[in-house]
């Protein structure tokens, strides 16, 4: 696939999302045009030859009579050949240590060669000093050494012991046998064997390990490809080809687009090269489209000469790998898609070269970033931070959950920690803890570096410009680079990974990586993103996230009925309450009796530490047990009592900052979901994060009616969406903004939205609608929504929502206390948006058409006046006596005035 990108302003390449789990292949054959995935890996093998890798632990004593401690698989194999393996192992000398392997041949008819690898101590586990899960790392090393030794023997197929953790075994072996050899002749290439799991049923773990290894190998391949082949354009072509096959959307944006976005920092770096800059925007939707994405930013400097501040020759050799951040973002997103993780990701990759051409940016130049900040260029070799800065600003368009940028940035990281760990800078303790634990499990460790104001002052110490691209003072280059990037981070959580120290491997530092670009820390990124899902899914059991209950506080809402007899000695619990009482061996009922039996509808009593799982149990009064439909009140009082109880219990636990609230169904899970979800929601979009009210996760307890629970949550989400639209201040929620929000919200749910502007309304002769809009500087907009849940020819239900985003009363000005709430005068429009989205999410088989006229009613110089005459769309003429009856002009099915002589109405 070849794309002509030079002469386009914006080139978008979108792919249909048809996600499939495909087997892992190794990328080993690339043409000179770029990277291609192929399975014919070259080399020669012995036909049908098979090898086996099994493990042995260190001996606890020097006594030769003590039995050798194999892995479980090793023991079975040794027994199958009547102990000959153990016999030969003892004869051949001391047992292999961790990182060593011993080969044996012809022990049985199935395997040509057996590699017995040392795994170190059998009792290895988490080492808090080393920040490492040593057992998993030993498995990676053992499987790697054994696989590589058998690869050298040209074994066609290598079967690998799981060593008790198939995922780590897959990672070690798949990383070890891979080597960059795309530009070698086929007959000179190292043979690539097939890898299979032996004597274990943990195929899920094996598959995950292969996916992680394939991701890191893809990053290694992209980074190892010479820079004259892997240009910005070539990288974009490869990204499109690799990701679109996995159902991931890729947009390729070129120089003209970056200029319209005012990305002055990014474009300044590209000026010295003949290769045009490219900006990639990658979108993976693994869950609902309206879920906020995690944004991954990868620095994509495909070659860094240092610009006019030219690097030394020995440094230039490795500068083809300076686009490691971009490679890791592509590889990570592909792996996430293959693993079908339920998360939304947005990848941003600025691609360019830093060359000393005639137009190259110069020390002393001032460039303007996307947010308007002026940057003094002190050193053109500090370019990656400029490339990333504009991407950080651009990321705010996606309202991200958090932002992670990955950059091969500063030599200081290698000077500080060598190749042992990636440097992490973050403003979030939670993100650091998650990625730290991810590194513990993958063996690819990270270390947190300071992000202090001390370094910020050094990068902003100029009276002439906003920021310096290097900063003042000696040393601390990596910290000052992070402080520089912090100036461009939109509000929210952010993490910066400086990977220059781990960019390449000498083949000795990590036993399962051969010499070349390392692709680190790709596997840690994948593990980190999977940790984000521990709150809402059961992926933790595959990704070693541990027991979520150890860190997440849980609360439980249970119901209790009002006693019919005031002198009753016991209360009536719900079925779930009875189960919990039995689980606590009667302690729950005992506590209720001590605290007083009488509980009215909505009363809440809290009990602590009665159960190991739930830190707090909220018992909520449900009123009388026999509540049902009340024809006088025209209400199902039983369901309303459930909503009230779920709401009261959830809100009380929310005030205690409980992170996860479990709610029993109370006999009707839909009503319970509605009450709880609406109660914990509050409009706080404009509050700083530190002052926002905690919103807990809600889950159904002790019931299988997940369908009813889901429907209740959808209904509550719809009402909360309407509340949010109505609560947004009118200077933000203008007609234009409302229309933009409607498009963003509804199009993600497969609903068509047409935006029609003032000229269209004039051609339709909507005199009543246009009359109201005359007094405002905001242009009127008319929205037409279409949802097709059944055959297109079926007649739709039409929903019309009045959309006056602010109603001052016009010339008949409202009182100040009335105007406070007039931002909510577009409630009809908000309800139509929310209702239509909920119908689409519930996939109801009905056709809906929504009509929303949007405008403001303001007392401008052109405002309509009492006594004016306006003509509606049906040619009926209205005379206005009171201006504030503006809804009647928006919704012309209603008559607004009595008959008047000479007029239609």
Domain ranges of the chain: 50-191, 219-543, 553-723, 728-890
Is CATH 3.40.630.10 what the domain over 728-890 is classified as, yes or no? yes
Q: What tokens were used for 597?
A: 């039996």
| pLDDT, position 591 | 86
Fold classification of 219-543 is Aminopeptidase (3.40.630)
CA 475 distance to own-chain centroid: 35
Beta strands in 313-460 (DSSP E): 344-354, 366-368, 374-376, 402-407, 422-426, 446-448
Alpha-carbon gap, residue 56 to 45, rounded angstroms: 27
| Tally of CA atoms within 13 A in the half-sphere of 172 that contains its CB | 31
Alpha-carbon gap, residue 524 to 147, rounded angstroms: 23
Alpha-carbon gap, residue 577 to 716, rounded angstroms: 25
Q: What tokens were used for 166?
A: 């198939």
| pLDDT, position 808 | 80
Which residue's structure tokens are 């189960």?
A: 579
Any residues with CB less than 8 A from the CB of 298 and at least 6 apart, and which?
323, 324, 325, 326, 327, 328, 329, 330, 347, 348, 349, 405, 406, 407
Burial of 41-75, coded b for 16+ CB within 10 Å and e otherwise, reads: bbbebeeebbbbbbbbbbeeeeeeeeebbbbebbb
User: Do 866 and 880 touch, CB atoms closer than 8 A?
Assistant: yes
Alpha-carbon gap, residue 552 to 697, rounded angstroms: 11
Q: Are strands 554-561 and 366-368 parallel, antiparallel or unpaired?
A: unpaired
Q: Which residues pair with 664 in a beta bridge?
A: 701
Alpha-carbon gap, residue 220 to 27, rounded angstroms: 10
Beta strands in 482-621 (DSSP E): 493-498, 504-505, 516-517, 554-561, 572-573, 604-608, 616-621
User: Do 346 and 282 touch, CB atoms closer than 8 A?
Assistant: yes
pTM of the entire predicted model: 0.59
Any residues with CB less than 8 A from the CB of 574 and at least 6 apart, and which?
558, 559, 560, 561, 622, 664, 666, 667
List pLDDT tens digits, range 542-580.
333 333 334 578 999 999 988 776 666 677 899 999 999
Which regions in the chain score pLDDT beneath 50? 1-42, 535-550, 883-884, 893-905
Beta strands in 710-773 (DSSP E): 752-756
Any residues with CB less than 8 A from the CB of 289 and at least 6 apart, and which?
344, 748, 749
- Cα–Cα distances (Å) from 606 to 592, 614, 853, in that order, read 9, 12, 48
| pLDDT, position 38 | 39
Nearest to 28 by CA among 237, 153, 177: 177
Domain at 50-191: CATH code: 3.40.220.10
Beta strands in 536-650 (DSSP E): 554-561, 572-573, 604-608, 616-621, 629-630, 635-636
List pLDDT tens digits, range 359-372.
888 988 889 999 99
Q: What tokens were used for 688?
A: 């700083």
CB-count exposure of residue 110 (10 Å: 0-12, 13-18, 19+): exposed
Nearest to 133 by CA among 100, 167, 101: 167
Under the phi-then-psi rule, with left for phi > 0, alpha for psi from -120 to 50, and beta for the rest, what region is 166? alpha
| pLDDT, position 497 | 97
Catalytic residue ranges: 311, 385
Alpha-carbon gap, residue 718 to 799, rounded angstroms: 15
Write the class of the CATH domain 553-723.
Answer: alpha beta
Backbone angles phi, psi at 407, to 5 degrees: -140, 140
Domain 50-191 and domain 553-723, same fold? Reply is yes
């Amino acid at each position: 696939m070849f794309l002509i990108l030079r002469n386009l302003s914006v080139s978008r390449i979108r792919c249909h999302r048809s996600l499939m789990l495909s087997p892992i292949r190794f990328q080993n054959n690339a043409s000179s045009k770029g990277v291609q995935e192929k399975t014919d890996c070259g080399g020669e093998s012995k036909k049908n030859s098979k090898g086996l890798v099994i493990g042995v632990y260190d001996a606890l004593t020097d006594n030769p009579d003590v039995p050798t401690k194999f892995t479980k698989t090793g023991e079975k194999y040794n027994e199958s050949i009547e102990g000959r393996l153990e016999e030969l192992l003892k004869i051949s000398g001391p047992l292999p240590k961790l990182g060593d392997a011993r080969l044996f041949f012809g022990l049985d008819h199935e395997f040509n060669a057996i590699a017995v690898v040392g795994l170190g101590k059998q009792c290895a586990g988490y080492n808090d000093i080393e920040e490492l899960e040593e057992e998993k790392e030993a498995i990676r090393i053992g499987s790697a050494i054994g696989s590589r030794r058998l690869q050298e023997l040209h074994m066609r197929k290598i079967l690998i012991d799981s060593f008790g953790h198939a995922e780590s075994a897959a990672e070690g072996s798949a990383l070890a046998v891979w080597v960059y050899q795309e530009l070698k002749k086929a007959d000179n290439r190292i043979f690539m064997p097939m890898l299979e799991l032996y004597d274990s049923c943990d195929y899920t773990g094996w598959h995950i390990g292969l996916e992680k290894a394939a991701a890191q190998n893809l990053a290694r391949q992209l980074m190892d490809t010479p820079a004259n082949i892997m240009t910005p354009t070539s990288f974009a072509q490869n990204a499109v080809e690799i990701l679109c096959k996995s159902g991931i959307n890729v947009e390729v944006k070129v120089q003209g687009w970056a200029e319209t976005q005012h990305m002055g920092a990014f474009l300044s770096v590209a000026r010295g090269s003949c290769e045009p800059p490219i900006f990639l925007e990658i979108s993976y939707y693994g869950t609902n489209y309206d879920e906020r994405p995690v944004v991954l930013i990868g620095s994509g400097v495909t070659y860094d000469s240092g610009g006019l501040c030219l690097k030394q020759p020995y440094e230039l050799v490795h500068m083809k790998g300076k686009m490691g951040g971009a490679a890791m973002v592509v590889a990570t997103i592909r792996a996430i898609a293959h693993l079908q993780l339920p998360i939304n990701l947005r990848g941003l990759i600025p691609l360019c070269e830093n060359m000393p051409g005639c137009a190259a940016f110069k020390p002393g130049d001032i460039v303007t970033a996307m947010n308007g900040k002026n940057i003094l260029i002190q050193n053109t070799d500090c370019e990656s931070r400029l490339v990333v800065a504009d991407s950080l600003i651009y990321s705010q368009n996606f309202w991200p959950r958090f932002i992670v940028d990955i950059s091969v940035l500063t030599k200081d990281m290698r000077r500080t920690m060598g190749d042992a760990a990636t440097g992490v800078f973050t403003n979030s303790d939670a993100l650091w803890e998650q990625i730290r634990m991810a590194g513990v499990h993958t063996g690819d460790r990270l270390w947190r570096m300071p992000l202090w104001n001390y370094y910020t002052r050094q990068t902003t110490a100029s009276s002439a410009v906003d920021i310096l691209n290097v900063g003042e003072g000696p040393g601390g280059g990596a910290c000052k680079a992070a402080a520089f990037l912090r100036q461009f981070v939109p509000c929210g959580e952010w993490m910066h990974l400086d990977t220059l120290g781990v960019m390449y491997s000498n083949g000795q530092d990590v036993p399962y990586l051969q010499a070349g670009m390392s692709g680190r820390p790709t596997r840690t990124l994948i593990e980190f993103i999977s940790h984000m899902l521990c709150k809402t899914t059961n992926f933790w059991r595959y990704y070693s996230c541990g027991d979520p209950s150890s860190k997440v506080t849980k609360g439980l809402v249970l119901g209790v009925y009002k006693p019919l007899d005031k002198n009753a000695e016991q209360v009536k619990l719900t079925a779930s309450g009875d189960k919990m009482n039995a689980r606590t061996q009667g302690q729950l009922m005992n506590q209720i009796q001590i605290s007083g039996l009488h509980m009215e509808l909505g009363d809440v009593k809290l009990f602590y530490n009665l159960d190991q799982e739930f830190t707090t149990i909220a018992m909520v009064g449900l009123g009388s047990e026999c509540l049902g439909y009340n024809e006088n009140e025209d209400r199902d009082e039983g369901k309303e009592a459930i909503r009230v109880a779920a709401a009261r219990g959830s809100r009380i636990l929310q005030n205690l900052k409980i992170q996860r609230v479990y709610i029993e169904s109370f006999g009707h899970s839909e009503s319970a979901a509605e009450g709880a979800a609406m109660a914990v929601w509050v409009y706080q979009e404009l509050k700083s994060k530190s002052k926002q009210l905690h919103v807990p996760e809600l889950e159904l307890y002790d019931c299988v009616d997940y369908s009813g629970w889901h429907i209740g949550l959808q209904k509550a989400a719809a009402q909360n969406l309407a509340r949010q639209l109505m609560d947004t201040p009118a200077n933000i929620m203008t007609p234009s903004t409302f229309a933009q929000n409607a498009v963003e919200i509804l199009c993600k749910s497969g609903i068509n939205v047409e935006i029609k502007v003032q000229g269209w309304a004039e051609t339709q002769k909507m005199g009543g609608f246009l009359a109201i809009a005359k007094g405002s500087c905001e242009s009127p907009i008319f929205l037409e929504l279409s949802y097709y849940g059944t055959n297109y020819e079926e007649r739709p239900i039409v929903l019309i929502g009045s959309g006056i985003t602010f109603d001052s009363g016009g010339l008949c000005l409202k009182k100040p206390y009335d105007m406070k709430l007039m931002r909510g005068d577009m409630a009809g429009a908000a309800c139509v948006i929310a209702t239509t989205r909920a119908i689409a999410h519930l996939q109801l088989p009905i056709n809906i058409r929504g009509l929303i006229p949007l405008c403001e009613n303001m007392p401008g110089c052109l405002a309509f006046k009492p006594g004016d005459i306006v003509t509606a769309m049906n040619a009926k003429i209205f005379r206005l006596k009171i201006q504030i009856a503006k809804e009647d002009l928006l919704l012309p099915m209603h008559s607004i005035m009595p008959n008047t002589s000479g007029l239609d109405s």
